[in-house]
Chain A
Amino acid sequence: MTLWKKNDIETAMECPMTRRRFMKWLAAAGVAAAMPCGFLVPNETKAGIVYEGGYETFRNACPRNCYDTCSMVTYVKDGVAQFVEGAPESTFTNGGLCVKGNAYIRKQYSPDRIKYPMAQQGRGSGNWKRISWDEALTRISEKFIEINEKDESMLGLALTKYSGNFGITNYGVEGMFSSLGYTTRMVGTPCWPAGIDAQNYDMGNMWCNDPEDMVDARYIILWGVNPAWCSVHTMKYIYEARQRGAKVVCIDPVLTQTAAKADEYWQINTSEDGALALGMARHILDRGLVDQDWVAANSVGFGEFADYLKQEVTLEWAAEKSGVPARRIARVAEEFATADPATIWIGYGMQRHVNGGASVRAIDALVAMTGNVGKAGGGARYGHLMTWGFNYHAMIQQPPKGAKGFLGPTAKGEFDFTKDAEGPAYTNRTLNINKTARELLNATDPPVRALWVSCKNPLSQDFDRNQLEKAFKKMELVVVVDQFFNQTVEQADIVLPVTTLFEEWTVNVGYWHYWLSINEQAVKPLHEAKSNIEIAAALSKKMNELKPGSCTFPTDIDTKEWVAKEFNKGVYDLFGINSWEDLKNGPKKAKANRLAWADGKFGTPSGKYEFRSDLCAEHGFNALPKYVEGRKPYDKLRLLTPHTQFGLHSQFINLDWMEDFNPRPYVYIHPETARVRNIADGDRVLVKNKTGEVTITASLTDNVPVDAILMYEAWFKNNPYNCQNLVDDTSADMGGYKAGAPGVAIHDQFADLVKA
């Protein structure tokens, strides 16, 4: 087939109607009349809802936990959000959202939204009754005061919150908890902690280049990452690099959509990423392809690493472990080492293993020894928090006078940007978020009595679901702040309706790209929804009414003003703006920090790239990026539960618009695995392991390996499916250093299945 280039169509047409040129035209000309191809005939047809023109537009930002954190434009008429588009000013979002972002209008106006505060008579009963905000807050406050009187502290009150809404003012939930006193916090993240720590040991921070510079890469390895689904806006840069001659290799246990778009796909044996990386490193060493100048100038410990490779690692061993033929490993290692620049994108999936941090360190080493760290178009890309320098005004609140708390060691999450206060005797009590079920059950002195859930759906996302249900049952009060009656809300006593992105003011940045977006209130909150900080203010008012001085959170707040309070000169300078209000004209990209480690000044104790990290050894791991064995199988088949394209964790999948394209969950089974179990495509099957079971429809495909089965993390409306029935809470190796708790070995799970 003739290789066809995008420009051919553009040049073939008189009318530059392809997307980028069209957008440029709009921006440059400013007026429709300048369009060279006149769509001159106005049409009178009215078929239901159509584009009418005359909209008021607002700036929004998708606040979900996603690489892409899209900058949005919302079109409003008659006070109703009509449709959304991607902001054209962001070269990353580039005018288009994703399947989820395009469903936001339905999320906003879904008849399933929680409209009012409601109380459930008997958790899980579904016997919900509407109550007023005043009644809800009174019941909650009375319980909090009772806890404080009983325990003489607020430690019996626990908060679990993570990434359901990353809008910066939503850290006011943590602020609300601080303003009540010293409390119990679920700390850590199931997401990316092992890799964060690995990069901290190697380089002194998690920091990656602007993804937009991937176009300059001459070689791209996509390692355990599926951007075609999970960072779809990055795909255009990968395509562009390929167009310019880069080779793209995808390494994954599953033939993902990203794999289908690569030049070469390797079906690696799950969790043997470290062995594969080290095998490549050994071959590069043998062939004399190490960037000796870079290594000598910028690193410590390479000699010891080289000795380890020579003594313990061979190409054949790596091939045996990973399942990838030795000649393939050798060839790609040579190509990678000689391409300039070459980059590896390290996915979060590949570090959700008991050896995940060790594997990330091995891959970092591969990138560093070839001199690709600190280069445009190069780098060991994982994520960054270089644009998160807000004031955290909403988050930082003081405890009431005389509050008592916890005495002992505590942990801090990766998004906790507060400075450690000077010498307070009391602190919060921190529990491992990745072991929420057992931590809630086991906490004593005092026990956890009340749980507040916001920006999180633990019963869809946290591990060992059966235990978690027990933990919820033990609570004296469960309050959930949410928009839909999901599986966590089912286990609540009181649910409080929270605003959508269209209904609140906030500000958003990404952990992958370098864009900053304001999120304006585009429409008034529907029904009785309040934003998280408005809920905090209302709770504070009630607490102080019932017990003066019991909560320090301001009781009268203007959410727009609170957005302004998050900004500072550092943010303004980084993004080249004079005021946060400049963002109303469109998102801005950081002017600096977009090229990681270019000056060779690393954040490690030595100030160099550390092939040998003594800090890592101090924390109980290997000083060198050595191979670490994976988890021993505890059942016949490996169980993978990665992210779906149709949702972000448990959000979006429940919407009826999404059901049109994704009506039900499946377990994906290799045809051979199914054959020996007498399972046909479309059969109902029972998937079972030591943790629990799931009944689900089978879909046969050799996209999954013969020794693994796959089902996507999801919450469907009217479907009890939950993959967390099968996932235990075994920890990943790393994460305790920077994320407050080790990660969780989500992909080190095993199960078997039979026809149901």
Chain B
Amino acid sequence: MKKQLGFFVDSDRCVGCMTCAMACKNQYHQEKGVVWRRVYPLKEEIYPHKERAFYSLACNHCEHPACMHVCPVKAYYKRETDGVVVHEQEKCIGCGNCIRSCPYGAPVYNPVLKKAEKCSFCHQRLDANRLPMCVMSCPVDAIQVIDITRLDSTGLVQFAPGFPKQPALNPSVRFRLPRLPEVVRRKTI
């Protein structure tokens, strides 16, 4: 199998600091409100402490990307070498098909250019032998680049609780779930 780069999202190490999300803006200067990577707090049904466990998510660079299939102008392609899904914004007509089709909310609308855009896996950085900015910047190594085809996935999950289960797309992301501390609360207040 060819190489398929993806993201390892280590919720056990993640502190929800949003560094990865801002690092993306640092590199790409997106318009206000346009965010390629988000740090989603887990709902309390999944993790009992509000806003204390997170999934850092952007484009999952799926094996079978919905965005690519629905794009009427072939603005998307998947790189042969590493499986990164690239959106060529100059070809985009802003129809919104990809935005509506992606179950992970990866493509977003740029209201200034009136076009879609999304996480590029920093492929220009990859080609210059640099890590994606989010991965480079994470101060706790909670998000990492993985090659899905060569990964020993023991202890990892592809469809973590709350993450849309879309096996047909085969998103290139793996999770480790967050820990729970032993919590000692005051008995009487």
Question: A interface vs B, CB < 8 Å?
Answer: 1-4, 6, 8-9, 11-15, 17-20, 22, 26, 32, 35, 37-43, 45-53, 83-86, 94-106, 228-229, 232-233, 235-236, 239, 250, 255, 257-269, 323-325, 328, 645-646, 656-661, 701-703, 705-707
Q: Determine which of A2, A18, A83, A707 lies in contact with B144 in the assembled complex, contact meaning CB atoms within 8 Å.
A: A18
| Candidates A43, A267, A646; contact of B186 at CB < 8 Å | A267
Minimum-distance CB pairs A-B, first 7: A323-B186, A2-B155, A4-B155, A102-B22, A228-B15, A260-B52, A96-B137
Q: How far is the CA of A646 from the CA of B51 in the complex (A)?
A: 14
Whole-angstrom CA separation of A677 from B87 in the bound complex = 51
Known: A255-B52, A645-B17. A51 touches B130 (CB 8 A): yes
Q: Are A17 and B145 in contact (CB under 8 A)?
A: yes
Q: A2-B154, A8-B152 are in contact. Are A99 and B22 (CB under 8 A)?
A: yes
Decide if A235 touches B139 in the complex (CB within 8 Å).
Answer: yes
A22 to B136, CA, bound (A): 10
Kindly state whether residue B9 has any CB partner on chain A within 8 Å.
no
Partner of A264, one of B122, B126, B141, B182: B182
Shortest Cβ distance from residue A235 to the other chain B in the assembled complex, whole angstroms:
5
Most buried by A among B129, B131, B176: B129
Q: For residues 94 through 118 of chain B, which have their beta carbon under 8 Å from a beta carbon of chain A? A: 117
User: Which of B19, B49, B129, B139 gathers most chain A CB within 10 Å?
Assistant: B139
The residues of B that contact A94 with a CB separation of less than 8 Å are 139
Told that A40-B81, A267-B185 touch, could you supply 19 new A-B pairs with CB distance under 8 A? A6-B141, A9-B152, A14-B147, A18-B141, A42-B127, A45-B120, A51-B128, A97-B137, A98-B17, A102-B19, A103-B22, A250-B181, A257-B17, A263-B181, A265-B182, A269-B186, A656-B32, A703-B50, A705-B185
Q: CB within 8 A of B8: which of A9, A22, A98?
A: A9
Known: A17-B147, A267-B183, A269-B186. A105 touches B26 (CB 8 A): yes
Is residue B70 within 8 Å, beta carbon to beta carbon, of the partner chain?
no
Closest to A70 in B: B139
Q: Closest CB-CB distance, B13 to chain A, in whole Å?
A: 6
Which B-chain residue is minimally distant from A657 (CB atoms)? B25
Q: Is the CB of B141 within 8 A of A95?
A: no
Which residues of B175-189 have CB atoms within 8 Å of chain A's CB atoms?
A: 176-179, 181-189
Contact A47–B89 (Cβ < 8 Å): yes
Q: Is the CB of A239 within 8 A of B26?
A: no
Task: Tell me which of A86, A100, A239, A269 contacts B13 (CB under 8 A).
Answer: A239
A47 in complex: contacting residue of B117, B152, B154, B185, CB < 8 Å: B117
Chain B residues, Cβ within 8 Å of A259: 52, 181, 183
Residue of B nearest to A320 (CB): B188
B4 to chain A, nearest CB (A): 12
Q: Is B80 positioned at the interface, with any CB of A under 8 Å from its CB?
A: yes
With contacts A51-B27, A660-B35 known, is A32 near B17, CB below 8 A?
no
What are some 23 contacts across the A-B interface (CB < 8 A)? A12-B152, A17-B131, A18-B141, A43-B127, A47-B89, A47-B117, A50-B28, A84-B26, A85-B133, A96-B137, A96-B139, A99-B19, A235-B15, A236-B139, A239-B140, A260-B52, A263-B181, A267-B183, A325-B184, A660-B21, A661-B22, A703-B49, A703-B50
**B90 at the A/B interface (Cβ < 8 Å)?**
yes
- Asked if B49 and A255 make an inter-chain contact with CB atoms under 8 angstroms apart, the answer reads yes
Chain A residues contacting B178 (CB-CB under 8 Å) are 260
- Chain A's interface: helix, strand, loop or mixed, by majority? loop
Q: Are A265 and B27 in touch, CB under 8 angstroms?
A: no
Question: By the criterion CB–CB under 8 Å, are A229 and B17 in contact?
Answer: yes
User: Is B82 touching A705 in the complex (CB atoms < 8 A)?
Assistant: no
The reply to whether the CB of B33 lies closer than 8 angstroms to some CB of chain A is yes
With contacts A18-B145, A45-B88 taken as known, whether A4 is within 8 angstroms of B181 at the C-beta atoms is no
The bracket for how many chain B residues form the interface is 35 or more
- Those of B31-82 within 8 Å (CB) of chain A: 32-33, 35, 39, 49-53, 79-82
Decide: B181 and A102 in contact? CB cutoff 8 A. Answer: no
Decide if B169 is an interface residue (CB 8 Å cutoff). no
| A255→B124 CA distance, assembly (Å) | 40
**Given known A2-B155, A263-B182, contact A12–B150 (CB-CB < 8 A):** yes
Residues from chain A with a CB closer than 8 A to the CB of B126 are: 39
Whether A324 lies near B122 (C-beta < 8 A) is no
Contact B129 A39 (CB under 8 A): yes
Assembled-state Cα–Cα distance A323/B39 (Å): 34
Q: Which residue of A lies closest to B26 (CB)?
A: A102
Give the Cβ gap from B170 to chain A, nearest Cβ, in Å.
18
Query: Hey, which chain A residues are within 8 Å of B136, CB to CB?
Result: 19, 85, 95-96
Contact A323 B122 (CB under 8 A): no
Q: How many whole Å from A154's CB to the nearest CB in chain B?
A: 44
Residues of B within 8 A of A324 (CB): 184, 186
| Cβ B179 vs Cβ A19 within 8 A | no
Contact present for A46 and B17 (CB under 8 Å): no
Contacts of B117 in A (CB 8 A): 47-48
- Bound-state CA distance A222–B185 (Å) is 16
B49 proximity list for chain A (CB < 8 A): 255, 260, 702-703
Q: CA of A661 to CA of B147 in the docked complex: distance in angstroms?
A: 29
Instruction: For residue B160, give the distance in angstroms from its CB to the closest CB of chain A.
Output: 12
Interface positions of B from 153 to 177, Cβ below 8 Å from A: 154-156, 176-177
**Are A236's CB and B141's CB within 8 A?**
yes
Q: Across the interface, do A51 and B122 meet the contact criterion of CB distance under 8 Å?
A: yes
Return chain B residues, CB-CB under 8 Å to A229.
15, 17
B21 to chain A, nearest CB (A): 6
B1 at interface, CB cutoff 8 A: no
Within 8 Å by CB of B140, from A53, A236, A267, A706, lies A236
Residues of the A chain whose Cβ atoms lie less than 8 Å from the Cβ of B128: 32, 51, 53
> Chain A CB within 10 Å — which of B21, B35, B138, B183 has the most?
B183
Say how far B118's CB is from chain A's closest CB, in angstroms: 9
A660 and B32 contact, Cβ closer than 8 Å, known pairs A1-B155, A4-B154, A41-B81: yes
Nearest B residue to A229, CB-CB: B17
Minimum distance in angstroms from A661 CB to a CB of chain B: 5
Residues from chain A with Cβ under 8 Å of B183 in the complex: 255, 259, 265, 267
Using A51-B122, A232-B15, A660-B25 as known contacts, say yes or no to A39 and B81 having CB atoms under 8 A apart: yes
Given A4-B176, A48-B28, A229-B15, A266:B184 Cβ within 8 A: yes
Q: Please tell me if B2 contacts chain A, counting CB pairs below 8 Å.
A: no
Residues of chain A with a CB closer than 8 A to B88's CB? 45, 47
- Interface centre among A96, A104, A262, A264, by most chain B C-beta atoms within 10 angstroms, is A96
The one of B15, B21, B32, B124 in contact with A43, judged by C-beta atoms closer than 8 angstroms, is B124
Write out the residue numbers on chain B whose beta carbons fall within 8 Å of the beta carbon of A261: 15, 179, 181
Determine the distance from Cα of A22 to Cα of B146 in the docked complex, in whole angstroms. 12
Contacts A267-B184, A703-B52; A97 near B155 (Cβ below 8 A): no
Q: Does B16 contact A (CB under 8 A)?
A: yes
From B50, B82, B139, contact of A39 by CB (8 A): B82
With A and B bound together, what is the CA distance between A100 and B137 in angstroms? 12
Check if B25 sits within 8 Å of A102, measured CB to CB: yes
Counting chain A CB atoms within 10 Å of each CB, the highest count among B127, B136, B186 belongs to: B186
Tell me whether B184 and A264 are in contact (CB under 8 A): yes
Q: How far is the CA of A255 from the CA of B89 in the complex (A)?
A: 43
Q: How far is the CB of B54 from chain A (nearest CB, A)?
A: 9
Interchain CB contact under 8 A, B186 and A235: no
- Complex CA–CA separation, A417 to B150 (angstroms): 56
